[in-house]
A = this chain, B = another copy of it.
């Protein structure tokens, strides 16, 4: 993870760990607010929904899920797969929905302020 500002050579914009930081939980809550999902599925869905522009790393997702569950913003349960790998599903809680609304408001706010300054 390099925090050094990329050299000018690299013209293609990118999403650094530092820029995405603080948005992972909101992104996960956003998906779970639509339907229950399992971890691997969350990663793949984010990749698709971002039009292949952003790939959430598995380690990052699982640490986010652990954090959200500890805060009671999501709960989890094992799926009943008869074949294939077992799947652990996550469901958003009512508090999770409220936190998600707060995250969205914070994002709109941050966008406004950063746009003022950049």
* Cβ B54 vs Cβ A117 within 8 A: yes
Contacts A5-B25, A19-B110, A98-B8; A103 near B117 (Cβ below 8 A): no
Number of chain copies forming the complex? 2
CB contacts under 8 Å to B, within A1-32, are 3-6, 8, 10-11, 13-23, 25-27, 30
Q: Which residues of B contact A101 (CB under 8 A)?
A: 8
Count of A interface residues, CB-CB < 8 Å: 50
Q: Which one, B16, B22, B25, B116, contacts A51 given CB within 8 A?
A: B116
Q: Which residues of B contact A49 (CB under 8 A)?
A: 116-117
Chain B nearest Cβ from A95, distance in angstroms: 7
